[in-house]
Amino acid sequence: MNKPTNQRAWLLVLPVLVAVAFSAIIPLMTVVNYSVQDILGPEQRVFVGTEWFRKVLRDPELHGALRRQLGFSLAVLALEIPLGVALALVLPKEGRAASVCLVLLGLPLLIPFNVVGTIWQIFARGDIGLFGVVINALGVEYNYTSNALDAWLTVLLMDVWHWTPLVALLCYAGLRAIPEAYYQAARIDGASAWATFRFIQLPRLRGVLTIAVLLRFMDSFMIYTEPFVLTGGGPGNATTFLSQYLTRLAVGQFDLGPAAAFSLVYFLVILLLSYIFYTAMTASTSTTGSKEAR
Amino acid sequence: MDLEWMAWTAPTAGFFVVIVLLLAAYTVWGIRSPSLPRRGLLPMATTRGDRLFVGLMGSAFIHLAWVGLTDASVSTALVLSLLFMLFIARWG
């Protein structure tokens, strides 16, 4: 039987809440205030109600950016999670080789976002970039500056290169935490490699995979710097994602009211999708946990 | 303390006051009578606080859908949201 939760423990979280209030909640409240006003100047504001929400929610450019963003984030998850798990499984378990592999794997994570964009901007060029030249030499017509599909795939590939190591490192840590006794039991039962993965490693990885999926989803959904440096959102609007569209609105056109309304819609979409992912993954964990307990 | 920079308006101030009062009331309620997770119409076990969160998030999306799809007054969306929150709190 479940015991009632002691809510008094929340008081211990109070210092963190105060810090978050100053760094996140107060700015968010200001954004809410901006979203219902026409900001003409620092002292000149006119209350417009839901007009900016109406405007941004009916903007076809926003719908396009949202579709591209969802497609991008889902593609990122579909590629990076399995690839990260696979990499973690084949990495050496101990010794010098394990250390070398971990350092090499972590290198892309140390590179600043704008430098990643610049690296790929040169790397993928059809005239001087190794990747672009090799692809063209193979007979595939590739030019990320003029072809929308090429640009989209290049941004995706760049993100996979940059962030798969994070998923791999998380999974590697999760795999190392599985007690050897589980593998011994599997060997005694004559379990195949697939059965070991399916019934021992994967269930034990659920916790780190939840974190990996949430981190990668939220991060890819807010991606800005790398595609901005690599393609500038083009060709056309092919790689203009939500944050780029928002920046154009807020900084480029200085439309602070619509930008604030758009920010809130953006925030709510991320909140909803993250909540769905988190609930689905923790629900399946607790289901597995209760099955194991039986 | 000068809060002019936050560009306050009466409706947004009212909105935040309601949210803060709701959170405070649920905190006091939670301390006095801790809730057990239970399964209702939602596809997962939820505590009282979870249902408040789902209700508030659902209300936000009801308002967005209303504003995005119709030109009618948002007061109807507000009534729908209140009904939704009550429904989730009771049967969610």
Q: In sequence order, what are the residues at sequence separation of 6 or more whose Cβ sits closer than 8 angstroms to the Cβ of residue A95?
A: none
| Beta-carbon separation of B5 and A10 below 8 A | no
Does residue A2 lie within any of the structural domains? no
C-alpha A67 chain-centroid distance? 16
In this prediction the ipTM stands at 0.91
pLDDT at position B24 is 94
| Tally of structural domains, chain B | 1
Is there a contact between B61 and A268 if contact means CB atoms under 8 Å apart? yes
- B44 vs A contacts (CB less than 8 Å): 279, 283
In a domain, residue A222? The reply is yes
pLDDT of residue A290: 47
Contact A129, A122 (CB under 8 A): yes
DSSP single-letter state for residue B41:
S
Residue A23 covered by a domain: no
The predicted pLDDT at position B5 comes to: 80
pLDDT along chain A (294 residues), means of 10: 66 87 88 91 86 92 91 95 96 90 93 93 91 92 91 94 95 94 93 93 91 91 92 88 88 86 92 88 60 43
Out of B34, B36, B44, the one facing A283 most closely (by C-beta) is B44
Q: Are A120 and A226 in contact (CB under 8 A)?
A: yes
User: Exposure of A245 by Cβ count < 10 A (0-12 exposed, 13-18 middle, 19+ buried)?
Assistant: buried
pLDDT of residue A289: 47
DSSP-H helix ranges across A91-201? 96-110, 113-123, 130-137, 148-176, 180-188, 193-196
Domain with B78 in it: 4-91
Å between A26 CA and nearest CA of chain B: 8
Residue A152 sits at φ, ψ, to 5 deg, of -60, -45
Min Cα distance A4 → chain B (Å) is 6
Neighbours of A84 (CB within 10 A): 26
With beta carbons under 8 A apart, name residues in chain B contacting A62.
Answer: none
CATH classification at residue A266: 1.10.3720.10
**Of how many residues is chain A composed?**
294
Give the structural domain span for A123: 64-285
Interface test mutation site (partner A, options B52, B62, B64, max chain A beta carbons within 10 A): B64
Inter-chain CB proximity B57 and A283 less than 8 Å: no
**Structure confidence at residue A294 (pLDDT):** 41
- Partners of B31 on chain A (C-beta within 8 Å) are 7-8
Q: For chain A, how many structural domains are there in total?
A: 1
Query: How far is residue A24 from each of residues A17, A19, A28, A30, B75, measured CA to CA in Å?
Result: 10, 8, 6, 10, 29
Angle, CA A128 vertex, CA A237 and CA A122 arms, to 5°: 50
- Using one digit for the tens of pLDDT, what is the confidence trace for B27-84? 899 888 888 899 989 888 899 999 999 999 999 999 999 999 999 989 999 999 999 9
> What's the pLDDT score for residue B31?
85
Q: Is the peptide bond before A258 cis (omega within 30 degrees of 0)?
A: no
Chain A residues in contact with B43 by the CB 8 A cut-off are 283
In 3D space, the residue among A161, A154, A162 whose CA is nearest the CA of residue A121 turns out to be A154
Cβ of B12 within 8 Å of Cβ of A33? The answer is yes
Q: Which residue has the tokens 């700015």?
A: A27
Q: What is the C-alpha to C-alpha distance for residues A117 and A245, in angstroms, rounded to an integer? A: 18
Residue A54 near chain B (CB below 8 Å): yes
Residue A287's pLDDT is what?
53
| Residue A45 touches partner B, C-beta closer than 8 Å | yes
